[in-house]
């Protein structure tokens, strides 16, 4: 039996190919499987393993059981000069959300600002992936998405909101764009999955067990905690309103569970807000200011125990550079699964939000 702590080095191109083939084996068309594989590999390259290959077995099971529309009938509806909805017909979330970027760019080019609601999709993954693409086109952007109720609200004892992440991106004059992606919980649910996959414990500030007590055992998690108490609680409410309620989608405790009803679409919401900085200043001035900020942050004397002050999100950039050169550390049991003929393990259906 493979030790869950054992990892192997794998090149990004190999990982992407394995993920693509596994998703196609589950029934996903090649274009959708390829885009999802690119996305998950991006996450693992960034050392955000919570949104990488660890998710494939779940995605494969949902796809195989009919919970993802393999050939979705996408409906794009302009609701105003700079606003629109992009109904994904419960197609694979990564693929649909990436397609919607084309419409976001079209609207922001024309109007200087754009807001697009991506509706009726499955899990859309790591939001940094999308805001970085918008930043590469020269736009400042925010992206938010709702998720199933896994979080104990501040002062409460039952789960209500999801981890409801938010991401920001901005162009730079040099190097990769600035991007920052965070769950509104102390840690994303995927971080707990990552700890499970590696046989590791978690800090006692991340989550509570079924009795409401802090836990370090990722297998006993029954509720996640909002970041910074009432502040994170407020942020996750904002995300649910902007990516769910605003588009007439389920919200709060009514958001579909990741693991229940694997034969049904999840009907999740995802939103993009993009701004053209040249409607306010020159792009050169804006990106020069970004560079100045980065340089000034790097010049700050680090505190004891730190070797450098980094701008938010920079560690993911450095991880990508290293992992492209050295290979990505992935748990061996995940690589073994990807290389096997097993499509999925039939392990997630009709289980609670915190299923093994």
Q: Is the separation of the CB atoms in 351 and 24 below 8 Å?
A: no
What whole-number distance in Å separates Cα of residue 120 and Cα of residue 244? 10
What whole-number distance in Å separates Cα of residue 320 and Cα of residue 249? 35
Structural tokens at position 134? 């918008």
331: Cβ contacts below 8 Å, ≥ 6 apart: 4, 6, 7, 54, 197, 198
What is the structure's pLDDT at 352?
A: 72
Q: Which residues are catalytic?
A: 123
Q: What is the pTM of this model?
A: 0.94
Q: Position of tokens 């196609």? A: 24
Give the phi and the psi of residue 179 in degrees, each rounded to 5: -150, 145
Q: Is the separation of the CB atoms in 199 and 3 below 8 Å?
A: yes
Q: What is the pLDDT of residues 266-294, one digit of tens each?
A: 999 999 999 999 999 999 999 999 999 99
Q: What is the pLDDT of residues 175-223, one digit of tens each?
A: 999 999 999 999 887 888 889 888 999 999 999 998 888 899 999 999 9
Q: Is the pLDDT of residue 1 over 60?
A: no
What whole-number distance in Å separates Cα of residue 322 and Cα of residue 335? 20
What is the structure's pLDDT at 350?
A: 79
Q: Average pLDDT of 295-310?
A: 97
Q: How far is CA 146 from CA 98, 130, 162, 209, in A?
A: 17, 15, 6, 23
Confidence band, pLDDT 50/70/90 cuts, at residue 356: low
Length of the chain: 356
Q: Is the separation of the CB atoms in 69 and 91 below 8 Å?
A: yes
81: Cβ contacts below 8 Å, ≥ 6 apart: 110, 111
């Amino acid at each position: 039996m493979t030790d869950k702590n054992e990892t192997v080095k794998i090149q990004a191109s190999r990982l992407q190919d394995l993920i693509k083939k596994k998703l196609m084996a589950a029934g996903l068309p090649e274009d959708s499987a390829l885009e999802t594989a690119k996305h998950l590999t991006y996450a693992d390259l960034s050392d955000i393993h919570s949104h990488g290959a660890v998710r494939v077995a779940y995605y494969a099971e949902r796809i195989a059981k009919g919970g993802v529309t393999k050939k979705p009938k996408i409906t794009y509806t302009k609701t105003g000069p700079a606003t629109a909805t992009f109904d994904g017909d419960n197609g694979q979330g990564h693929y649909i959300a990436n397609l919607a970027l084309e419409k976001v760019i079209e609207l922001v080019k024309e109007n200087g600002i754009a807001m697009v609601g991506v509706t009726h999709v499955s899990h859309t993954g790591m939001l940094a992936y999308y805001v970085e693409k918008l930043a590469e086109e020269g736009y400042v952007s925010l992206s938010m998405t709702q998720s199933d109720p896994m979080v104990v609200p501040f002062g409460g004892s039952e789960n209500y909101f999801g981890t409801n992440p938010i991401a920001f991106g901005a162009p730079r004059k040099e190097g990769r764009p600035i991007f920052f992606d965070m769950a509104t919980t102390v840690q994303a649910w995927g971080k707990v999955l990552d700890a499970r996959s590696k046989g590791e414990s978690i800090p006692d500030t991340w989550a509570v067990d079924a009795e409401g007590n802090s836990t370090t055992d990722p297998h006993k998690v029954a509720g996640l905690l909002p970041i910074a108490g009432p502040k994170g609680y407020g942020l996750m409410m904002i995300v649910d309103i902007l990516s769910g309620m605003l588009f007439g989608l389920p919200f709060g405790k009514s958001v579909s569970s990741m693991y229940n009803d694997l034969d049904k679409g999840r009907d999740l919401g995802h939103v993009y807000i993009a701004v053209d900085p040249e409607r306010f200043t020159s792009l050169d001035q804006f990106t020069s200011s970004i560079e100045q900020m980065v340089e000034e942050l790097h010049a700050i004397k680090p505190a004891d125990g730190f070797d450098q002050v980094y701008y938010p999100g920079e560690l993911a950039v450095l991880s990508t550079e290293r992992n492209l050169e050295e290979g990505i550390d992935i748990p061996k049991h995940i690589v073994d699964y990807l290389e096997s003929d097993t499509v999925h393990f039939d392990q997630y259906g009709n289980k609670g939000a915190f299923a093994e």
